[in-house]
Amino acid sequence: MKKFEIPEYYKSPIISKVKAMRKLEDPRKKDFSPTILKFGSVEFIISRHFGFCYGVENAIEKSYRAIQENPEKRIFLISQMIHNPDVNQDLLSQGVRFIQDTDGSQLISWDEITLEDIVIIPAFGTTTETRNLLTDKGVDVKTYNTTCPFVEKVWNRSAKLGENDHTIIIHGKYNHEETKATFSHSKENSPSLIVKNMEETKFLSDYILGKHSTEEFNAYFKHKYSANFNPELDLAKIGVVNQTTMLASETQEIASFIRTTMIEKFGEEQIKNHFADTKDTLCYATNDNQSATLELLNQEADLAIVVGGYNSSNTSHLVELLEQKFKTFFIKNDEEISSKNTIKSFNIHSKTTTNSTEFLGDKKTLKIIITSGASCPDAIVDNVMKRVLDLMDIPFDPNNIKL
């Protein structure tokens, strides 16, 4: 796999060693068991897979290359390059400006962008409408296009499905940049509909089986289907793709549920004419990170720490998995840890940050699970570990790691 050039300050003395060791031991990534690091009385149980994925490293390399290669030009990002506040803040500090917020709100008018400017397309990709707008202005949309190859794979698969008259069902969050981009591409080739979860999938399936009216369908999925979507005609041949950062297991569950519905509607012998197998669109990094997190559930620990941006979809799903068993703290960096008893953590359900006074407590020995999202630099995970060790009065020596 290609080795990317990313800033040295995103790398780490601890995690880099751990990942290098695991790569040598398990080059084919068959072992999802965690790595155990011992520092005195603190034991860190580190996920087998976490941190920067291929798509994120590709985006970081191209973004920083854009800065280096264009010192005299204005540089813009369509929106946040990835969902990590430290990385985005660093880009802002180097003069990069964001055209839109993550929810699509305009921060800089398109009228201000000229063909002389450098515009970076983020890892999530962008909509065909935005791409065409930039192209019409004469802006180069190819040189610094950092769209993740696995996102583009979903787009290409959707196009193939459209050529074969399939309607595209996208498992994703309607307001997420990646889902917006995927939807804009898929609707060019075929009728498209976004479902967020199993609840919406069950409503869709009930409609297919005649349990809801078309009026009820249109109201329930308002703003979530393409302009050319006719539910009475377009749900006889279906393919399911996903926002690559969603829970892979949920995407598979949704696809399986719809497949069962289509069998009930059209019969087992006709299923190949009504439902496409799209397992090949699932992102390998999302799969690996989630599989490694599921393996962590077989461990015993005092708490779990998940590090990443609070608006990161893939990171929130790691929290969702771990909190099934452990007291789990979702933090963006080490600055959220005030003391042994106080930590500011993000609640993925209420979408708010809360101060907890039940962090490390007075225990003399601790077992701590730690992982991070695909857009989180390893150096930030290092800093979290260092902060915990400091609070436990344990000296940190990266050259004296005990496995």
Q: Decide if 261 is inside a domain.
A: yes
Indicate if 155 and 270 belong to the same structural domain.
yes
Indicate if 228 and 289 belong to the same structural domain.
no
How many domains, in total, are found in the chain?
Answer: 3
The per-residue DSSP string of 243-255 comes to -TTS-HHHHHHHH
Indicate if 190 and 80 belong to the same structural domain.
no
Local structure of 371: helix, strand or coil: strand
Would you give the DSSP letter of residue 399? G
Q: Decide if 131 is inside a domain.
A: yes
336 closest CA partner among 367, 305, 314, 315? 305
The predicted pLDDT at position 279 comes to: 74
Distance of CA 313 to the CA centre of its chain: 5
The predicted pLDDT at position 3 comes to: 79
Indicate if 365 and 303 belong to the same structural domain.
yes
Local structure of 296: helix, strand or coil: helix
Indicate if 265 and 309 belong to the same structural domain.
no
Range of the domain at 125: 54-137
The predicted pLDDT at position 360 comes to: 93
Indicate if 94 and 58 belong to the same structural domain.
yes
Amino acid letter, residue 353: T
> How are strands ordered across the β-sheet holding 75-77?
97-98, 75-77, 118-120
Domain boundary among 137, 160, 185: 137
Q: CA 296, CA 103: separation in Å to the nearest integer?
A: 33
Task: Let me know if 232 is a catalytic residue.
Answer: no
Indicate if 385 and 319 belong to the same structural domain.
yes
Q: Decide if 194 is inside a domain.
A: yes
Q: What is the pLDDT of residues 204-257, one digit of tens each?
A: 999 999 999 999 999 999 999 999 899 999 999 999 999 998 888 899 999 999
Is residue 12 a contact partner of residue 381, using CB atoms and an 8 Å limit?
Answer: yes
> Which residues are bridge partners to 369 per DSSP?
45, 304
Q: Decide if 3 is inside a domain.
A: no
Per DSSP, which regions of 47-185 are E strands? 75-77, 97-98, 118-120, 167-171
401 closest CA partner among 131, 138, 40? 40
101 closest CA partner among 6, 10, 191, 177? 177
Q: Decide if 142 is inside a domain.
A: no
Q: Decide if 77 is inside a domain.
A: yes
Domain boundary among 87, 114, 137: 137
Q: CA 100, CA 257: separation in Å to the nearest integer?
A: 36
CATH of the domain at 198: 3.40.1010.20
139 closest CA partner among 56, 183, 73, 57? 73
Q: Strand pairing of 366-372 and 42-46? A: parallel
Domain boundary among 260, 282, 304: 282
Distances (CA, A) of 129 to 97, 133, 136, 144, 151: 20, 6, 11, 18, 17
Q: Active-site residue among 57, 177, 178, 320?
A: 178
Indicate if 97 and 178 belong to the same structural domain.
no
Q: CA 79, CA 108: separation in Å to the nearest integer?
A: 11
The predicted pLDDT at position 1 comes to: 61
Indicate if 315 and 243 belong to the same structural domain.
no
Indicate if 118 and 200 belong to the same structural domain.
no
Q: CA 80, CA 93: separation in Å to the nearest integer?
A: 13
Indicate if 167 and 83 belong to the same structural domain.
no
CATH of the domain at 71: 3.40.50.11270
Beta carbons within 8 Å of 279's beta carbon, 6+ residues apart = 252, 255
Indicate if 100 and 170 belong to the same structural domain.
no
Beta carbons within 8 Å of 351's beta carbon, 6+ residues apart = none
- Write out the H or E segment, with its range, that includes residue 194: strand 192-195
Q: CA 9, CA 15: separation in Å to the nearest integer?
A: 13
pLDDT by 10s per residue, the chain, length 403: 677 888 988 988 889 889 989 989 999 889 999 999 999 999 999 999 999 989 999 999 999 999 999 999 999 999 988 889 999 999 999 999 999 998 889 999 999 999 999 999 999 999 999 999 999 999 999 999 999 999 999 999 999 999 999 999 999 999 999 999 999 999 998 999 999 999 999 999 999 999 999 999 999 999 999 998 999 999 999 999 999 988 888 999 999 999 999 999 999 999 999 999 887 677 888 889 999 999 999 999 999 999 999 999 899 999 999 999 999 999 999 999 999 999 999 999 999 999 998 899 888 899 999 999 999 999 999 999 999 999 999 987 776 666 6
